[in-house]
Amino acid sequence: MKNKKIRVGVIGGGIAGLTFVNFLQKNNNFEIEIFEKKKYKQNNLSGIQLSNNAIEVLKKLEFYQLNKKKYSIIKNINIVDYETNKIISELLLKNLNNKNKYICIDRNELINFLIKKISKTSFIHKEAVNIKNNAIVFSDHSSKQFDFIVVADGTFSKIRNKVCDKSVAHNSNMVAYKGIVRDTKNYNKQRINLYLGSKKHFVLYPINSLGDFSYTAVFASTILSGNKSYEIPVENTNHLLEISKDAHDDIKNILRSSKHVYRWPIYYHRQFFFGKENIFFIGDSAHAIVPFQAQGAAQAIEDAYCLALLFKNKIFSLNQFKNQRISRISMIASKSFNNLFIYHLSNVVLKKLRNLVIKIIINNKVFYNFILGKIYNYKFKD
């Protein structure tokens, strides 16, 4: 009995689940299986931003073994007026942490990197629909028993709906559009452009060193209320251009030339839920937040690393995991909602005041390290 391995079932093969497995798989005390309902295929390019705090964790998995052409190291963020294209201010990331650790990449590349590093873990394509008595129940009515279960199946987690009484994801009344602009030489491959508009914002960022860019356009809207899909294809971009009619011509040209456009409603969790008994929730299934700080993936990665460290030290306390994470998640969620208000201001006077404050903060290293450093310079104690 002394040599009996601890059985861990992981539901969800996204960034959170894969990161957790990567950190735990080489520990001989555990027997791990990960369940993902979808078979992986090379989907359309889809950008993702990995801020410094996420990169610090991924470096422990030898992230920089990736071909440098497959990601872009970001050196600065330009904050720009949505209508006039006038630069409000420029944030030099080296002044934030003295190193360039902010990465933009195709999400597929990150997923493939994490999958390839999983060697000892059983990777099973089955849909988990429930948990009963520490057993994962699958859509084919089969089940499997585990000592501990880690749930990482996203914002609209079916498992959370079964386990948690207050599990509803709330609509933020915002809609996001994401698209790709291929092989463009018109934009700096080491820069993010953040355009601030009235009740909308637009982010353009490189996803590799080859000239491919991704954009995310976020609008205040209820048109997708009740729809909970992240992959609603946009066959005709005329509607997107119509709601972007006050945008600068640069943004309109990006929208006209973009490929593989998708839209989705932005949902979030008002109540965080880290688990129950021997069931642990990580990533968006635990605490979906509005995406205004490039922290969705980053917090999933942090969760995964934190829980894996606890498991390695044979600490299986839900309360300890929650206590380590909840104050940080709460702080980031609060800042993200503040950004929603700040980014989408429509009053002319308030916008001018906002732009002035942004300039003051960004031109003062002490100020922006105090404000942003709490998020991006966070480090775990191993």
Q: Given a cut of 80, is residue 229 above it in pLDDT? A: no
Q: Give the residue with greater pLDDT, 183 vs 85.
A: 85
Q: Given a cut of 80, is residue 262 above it in pLDDT? A: yes
Q: Which pLDDT does position 302 carry in this prediction? A: 96
Question: pLDDT-derived band of residue 151, with 50, 70 and 90 as boundaries?
Answer: very high
Average pLDDT value for residue range 234-245: 88
Q: What is the DSSP annotation of 137-198?
A: EETTS-EEE-SEEEE---TT-HHHHHH-SS-PPEEEEEEEEEEEE-S--SS-TTEEEEEEET
Question: Considering the entire predicted model, what is its pTM?
Answer: 0.93
Distance CA 99, CA 102 (A): 9
Average pLDDT value for residue range 357-375: 87
Q: Given a cut of 90, is residue 202 above it in pLDDT? A: yes
Q: Which pLDDT does position 300 carry in this prediction? A: 96
Average pLDDT value for residue range 311-328: 96
Question: pLDDT-derived band of residue 2, with 50, 70 and 90 as boundaries?
Answer: low
Q: Given a cut of 50, is residue 352 above it in pLDDT? A: yes
At 104 the three-state DSSP class reads strand
Q: Give the residue with greater pLDDT, 169 vs 98.
A: 169
Q: Which pLDDT does position 369 carry in this prediction? A: 82
Question: pLDDT-derived band of residue 1, with 50, 70 and 90 as boundaries?
Answer: very low
Q: Which pLDDT does position 323 carry in this prediction? A: 95
Q: Which pLDDT does position 39 carry in this prediction? A: 72
Average pLDDT, the chain: 90
Question: pLDDT-derived band of residue 178, with 50, 70 and 90 as boundaries?
Answer: very high
Which structure tokens are listed for 53? 């705090």
Residue 379 has φ and ψ, to the nearest 5°, of -130, 140
Is residue 42 within 8 Å of residue 26, measured between CB atoms? Answer: no
pLDDT in tens, 51-99: 999 999 999 999 988 999 999 999 999 999 999 999 999 998 887 765 6
Q: Are strands 279-281 and 148-151 parallel, antiparallel or unpaired?
A: parallel
Which structure tokens are listed for 372? 């942003």
pLDDT in tens, 7-55: 999 999 999 999 999 999 989 999 999 999 877 655 566 899 999 999 9
Q: Which of 13, 106, 88, 31 is nearest to 360 (CA)?
A: 88
> Residue type for 213, please?
F
Taking CA atoms, 327 is separated from 324, 358, 374, in Å, by 7, 26, 12
Distance CA 11, CA 17 (A): 7
Q: Which of 91-100, 121-130, 191-200 has the highest mean pLDDT?
A: 191-200
Q: Given a cut of 80, is residue 166 above it in pLDDT? A: no
Q: Which pLDDT does position 329 carry in this prediction? A: 95
Q: Which pLDDT does position 259 carry in this prediction? A: 83
User: What are the residue boundaries of the structural domains of the chain, listed by start?
Assistant: 6-169+269-376
Q: Which helix (H) or strand (E) holds 71?
A: strand 71-74
Q: Given a cut of 70, is residue 226 above it in pLDDT? A: no
Fold of 6-169+269-376: FAD/NAD(P)-binding domain (3.50.50)
Average pLDDT value for residue range 244-251: 95
Q: Which pLDDT does position 42 carry in this prediction? A: 57
Q: Which pLDDT does position 98 carry in this prediction? A: 58
Q: What beta strand segments (E) does 229-350 contain?
A: 232-233, 259-268, 275-276, 279-281
Q: Which pLDDT does position 245 carry in this prediction? A: 93
Q: Which pLDDT does position 123 carry in this prediction? A: 86
Is residue 83 within 8 Å of residue 247, measured between CB atoms? Answer: yes
Question: pLDDT-derived band of residue 334, with 50, 70 and 90 as boundaries?
Answer: very high
Q: What is the DSSP annotation of 197-250?
A: ETTEEEEEEESSSSS-EEEEEEEE--TTTT---S-EE-S-THHHHHHTTTS-HH
Q: Which pLDDT does position 286 carry in this prediction? A: 95
Average pLDDT value for residue range 301-329: 96
Q: Which pLDDT does position 104 carry in this prediction? A: 95
Distance CA 201, CA 199 (A): 7
